[in-house]
Copies of this chain bind each other. A is one copy, B any other.
Amino acid sequence: MSSCDTCVVRNRAICAGLDSREINALNAIGRRRAVTAGEPLIWEDDDSLLVANVIDGVLKLTTSTEDGREQIVGVAYPSDFIGRPFGPTSKASVVALTDARVCVFSRNDFDRFAREHPELEHKLLERTLAELDRTRSWMMLLGRKTAPEKIATFLLEMSDRLAETGCTPTFGPAKRFSLPFSRQQVADVLGLTIETVSRQFTKLKNEGVIELPSRREVEILDRPALVSLAG
């Protein structure tokens, strides 16, 4: 029995839609791997040797300057595809934010397999186009939004994204959730400093818009207010 048979993202990842013969072939070139929180999987500017599907957990994609400034340029959730197929180098590092499990492929194997399976390439294309849309709307946030707008937009996005992956079949966005980010990582997503993030969180709490039961937990008390603040 291939491990794909028991894969929880089997029907959401790019492997969805492959027939059982194809799944077996893909299974033959991939293997599961556990990544612990904080552990890197792919390094910026290294040769692109590895691509993967996220099975569970959350990972960050980052780029850094020489002097150590970091920007989180993407976040990968279960069923997302990570790595750079069809290109010699990865332009972003991938590091686990939580303990995670991924299904990794050598890039060469994956590239070859993908070129032989147009349906898979099509799924990858759809995903890449959607990711590009999301990335572009994040550029708007980075370039033109104020700190309060950034924080409000971020909380709403988290509330949407984390609802999708929850076990309980939730409808609509999550009211309460656990951030997979430290304050520094929130700052790295939004192009702010940790202090500014902290101050804005506190401000929203004092205004009764959110509650912060613990460092990582957020509860949205007044969603319309957040939507309005998000600009």
Enumerate chain A interface residues (CB-CB to B < 8 A).
61, 63-67, 69-71, 73-74, 84-87, 91-92, 115, 118, 121-122, 124-126, 128-133, 135-140, 142-145, 190-191, 231
Contacts and interface: CB of A to CB of B under 8 A. Distances in A.
Contacts of A144: 65, 69-71, 191
Contacts of A115: 122
Contact of A140 (B71, B121, B137): B71
Copies in the complex: 2
Given A84-B133, A121-B121, A136-B135, A142 B67 contact: no
Contact of A143 (B85, B132, B142): B142
Contact of A137 (B63, B87, B129, B136): B63
A125 B121 contact: yes
A71 B143 contact: yes
Given A66-B231, A191-B143, A231-B66, A92 B136 contact: yes
A207 to B, nearest CB: 21
Nearest to A122: B121
Contact of A135 (B87, B125, B135, B143): B135
A74 B142 contact: no
B125 A128 contact: yes
**7 tightest CB-CB pairs across the interface, nearest first?**
A143-B191, A118-B118, A142-B142, A73-B136, A91-B133, A71-B140, A71-B143
18 contacts: A63-B136, A63-B137, A63-B140, A65-B145, A65-B231, A70-B144, A71-B140, A71-B143, A87-B129, A87-B130, A87-B133, A124-B125, A128-B128, A132-B132, A138-B139, A139-B142, A142-B143, A142-B191
A136 B74 contact: yes
A86 to B, nearest CB: 5
A129 B129 contact: no
